Amino acid sequence: MSFDYSETQHHVAESARKFAEQYIRPHIMEWDEAQFFPADLLKKAGKYGFMGVLVPHDLGGAGLGYHEYIAIIEEISKVDPSIGLSIAAHNSLCTNHILSFANDAQKQKWIPKLATGEWIGAWGLTEHNTGSDAGGMSTTAVKDGDDWILNGAKNFITHGISGDIAVVIARTGEKGDSHGMTAFVIEKGTSGFSSGKKEDKLGMRASETAELIMNNCRIPDCQRLGEVGDGFVQSMKVLDGGRISIGALSLGIAKGAYEAAVKYSKERVQFGKPISSFQGISFKLADMATEIEASELLIHKAAFLKNEGRQMTKMSAMAKMYASEVCVKVANEAVQIHGGYGYTKDFPVEKFYRDSKLCTIGEGTTEIQKVVIAKNILK
């Protein structure tokens, strides 16, 4: 068993690192303060292969696996987690849902545009009154001849305004029935399909989050993904992979905050010595480093299982839960090590701290991950 990065992983990590330094770092706080979503940056990321990481070459993608995907998300998130989040949501949710469950004609129609960054993708499961309880959704899809008419709203949707295409899960059966929901693809510009309120957020402010609204939105049956009633089951499978990407996002945040804390602790002098020489600080760094290593191992084990096509629901939940909680803890400690300066926007740890909290909430809260893990170990 090798724990070393492959040559391909080294190459893609370096590519992502250079991309982040050149195109993201100069604008971090500008985008954060203005809550500006740099859609053009994501289109540029498509030219680097970052928007179709898991998509095969014949559909315009990079044809890579989950270990490489983790490396890309991690490196970008070490610089700006907001951009890491947007790239992760585009790849793992919208693009991967279509790639996993669309027929060949649907893949040929939509995937190349997503994989190259020509189109930005959104994915709609969550609603105002149904977060963890997705099965109780109110958005409906009613068959009308060869069409479907969708009514309802989705909430907390990444790229809800700027997305060119969205996968939306709607109820086609009874509330609470896991086989009473179906997945549909809706293109921007479709009559009755619009964007609503943009959220004003604590962190991840350069990643756009908004409502998707369907008001008598009519789409043809050829835009249905898979069989009627399979939407919820599809979504749970999509989230299995998505949790790896949130783990990678968490890992990038933790490493970014940790590296900033190490650097500062060596430069900050108190009582005539760098604060890194004091046990109170060095022990914090030791704990941070150890928990980051543990997170990384869990995430890459989940990636290994995913690449092998093996059952990985439990492992992806463990990886997401642990890595997200660790990134919050590490970011918190990084602020503490910086002292008063950590509370200012002059140092990067303030933003890592704000951005980190989303990781314990998005794509299934920590509490939901524990439910998933418990169900799997108690089968």
Q: How high is the mean pLDDT in each 10-residue block of the chain (379 residues)? A: 89 98 98 98 97 98 98 98 98 98 98 98 95 90 98 98 98 92 98 97 98 98 98 96 97 98 98 98 98 98 97 98 98 98 98 98 96 96
Residue 150: φ, ψ to 5°: -105, 135
Helix (H, G, I), strand (E, B) or coil at 176: coil
What gap in Å lies between CA 121 and CA 115, rounded to an integer? 10
Looking at residue 212, what is its pLDDT? 98
Looking at residue 33, what is its pLDDT? 98
Looking at residue 302, what is its pLDDT? 98
What gap in Å lies between CA 107 and CA 237, rounded to an integer? 18
Looking at residue 176, what is its pLDDT? 83
Looking at residue 235, what is its pLDDT? 96
Looking at residue 338, what is its pLDDT? 98
Instruction: Say which residue the tokens 């490489």 belong to.
Output: 68
Of residues 127, 208, 350, 363, which has the active-site annotation?
363
363 is catalytic: yes
The token duo for 259 is 């590296």
Looking at residue 133, what is its pLDDT? 87
- The whole model's pTM is what? 0.97
| Residue environment code for 339-370, b if the CB has 16+ CB neighbours within 10 A, otherwise e | eeebeeeebbbbbbbbbbbbbbebbbebebbe
pLDDT tens for each residue of 150-166: 999 999 999 999 999 99
